[in-house]
């Protein structure tokens, strides 16, 4: 776990010191890969079933797993460690959350705020961007860009990080979704929600520890009671509910005063909370490392 913590620190450091490297996080390869399979499987029944999802996911994951296994013992594991750093960095983001929040905070009108919401959430179906919507989008983006990738990297290494990112893109990218039949699309959505559920729950726990525990617990409980869902239902709405409970939003703040747009500080507070959650996660990892050393 010590190497995983060091990997995370290096990825975060690269994001701060070399933000221009973010352009390396291009996932056009997945669009080409999905298009290649769609063209060849169009007239076959297996492409319309769950096998189509396996055909998309397994070859890249097996290739990454094989490379990681081969490099794990080369030069005392240094090449394996470097490969892990490269894969986590590649699967991180791909957009910079701080930059997108800055755009949302400085948006001068409703149109710019809506564009900022689309940049944060990746969902262009919204027609208006309220303060609470932007707060929810920040936490949803933190889950998709940071915590989901990190959690599965900690569990399965580079394979886990790539697997989560592939499912997230297949489930939420309009261009990729257009290439998949209805059957595989449904399975992709279920798999994505299942993989996102655990890190979302851990984000909620970290949010309770980093802010108002009672408010978070109440919002989490009331969300499940209001929707008649048990604990293990794959609805991630509890993350939005707990985010709203910890960040004071005021949709009237978007109204211009004397012709001057008012900055939305709620979205900035949400960004600071997201980073606070990252610190809590890193502290938890550090405690696990220290416990291992003292055992």
Mean pLDDT of successive 10-residue segments in the chain (295 residues)?
90 89 87 86 78 90 96 88 96 91 83 84 70 88 96 96 95 85 85 94 94 91 80 82 84 51 78 95 91 71
pLDDT (0 to 100) of residue 295: 57
> b or e along 3-31 (b: 16 or more beta carbons within 10 Å of the residue's beta carbon)?
ebbebbebbbebbeeeeeebeeeebeebe
**How many alpha carbons lie under 13 Å from residue 217 in its C-beta half-sphere?**
4
State pTM to two decimals.
0.91
85, 94 contact by CB (below 8 A): no
Per-domain residue ranges for the chain?
Answer: 34-294
Query: CB of 7 within 8 A of CB of 81?
Result: yes
> H helices of 109-230, where?
110-121, 131-142, 148-156, 158-172, 174-177, 182-210, 213-226
Cα–Cα distance, 69 to 53 (Å, whole number) = 24
Query: What is residue 258's predicted lDDT score, i.e. its pLDDT?
Result: 43
At residue 259, the pLDDT reads: 47
Q: By the 8 A CB rule, do 239 and 197 touch?
A: no
pLDDT of residue 230: 67
Give pLDDT, residue 125.
Answer: 65
- Alpha carbon distance 50, 96 (integer Å): 33
| CB proximity list for 269: less than 8 A, separation 6 or greater | 135, 247, 248
Q: What pLDDT score was predicted for residue 239?
A: 92
């Amino acid at each position: 776990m010590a190497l995983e913590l060091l990997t995370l620190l290096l990825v975060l450091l690269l994001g701060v010191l070399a933000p221009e490297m973010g352009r390396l996080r291009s996932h056009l390869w997945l669009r080409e890969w999905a298009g290649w399979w769609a063209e060849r499987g169009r007239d076959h029944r297996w492409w319309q079933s769950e096998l189509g999802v396996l055909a998309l996911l397994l070859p890249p994951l097996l290739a990454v797993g094989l490379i990681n296994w081969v490099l794990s013992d080369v030069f005392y594991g240094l090449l394996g460690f470097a490969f892990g750093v490269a894969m986590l960095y590649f699967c991180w983001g791909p957009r910079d959350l701080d930059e997108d929040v800055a755009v949302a905070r400085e948006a001068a009108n409703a149109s710019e705020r809506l564009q900022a919401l689309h940049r944060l959430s990746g969902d262009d179906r919204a027609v208006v961007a309220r303060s609470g919507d932007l707060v929810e989008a920040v936490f949803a983006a933190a889950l998709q860009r940071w915590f989901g990738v990190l959690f599965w990297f900690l569990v399965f290494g580079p394979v886990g990080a790539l697997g989560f990112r592939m499912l997230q893109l297949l489930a939420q990218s309009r261009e990729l979704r257009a290439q998949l039949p209805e059957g595989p699309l449904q399975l992709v959505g279920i798999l994505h929600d299942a993989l996102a559920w655990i890190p979302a729950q851990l984000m909620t726990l970290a949010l309770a520890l980093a802010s108002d525990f009672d408010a978070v617990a109440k919002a989490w409980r009331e969300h499940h009671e209001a929707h008649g869902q048990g604990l293990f239902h794959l609805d991630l709405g509890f993350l939005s509910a707990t985010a709203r409970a910890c960040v004071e939003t005021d949709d009237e703040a978007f109204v211009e005063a004397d012709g001057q747009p008012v900055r939305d500080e709620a979205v900035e507070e949400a960004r600071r909370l997201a980073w606070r959650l990252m610190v809590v996660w890193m502290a938890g990892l550090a405690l696990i490392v220290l416990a291992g050393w003292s055992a």
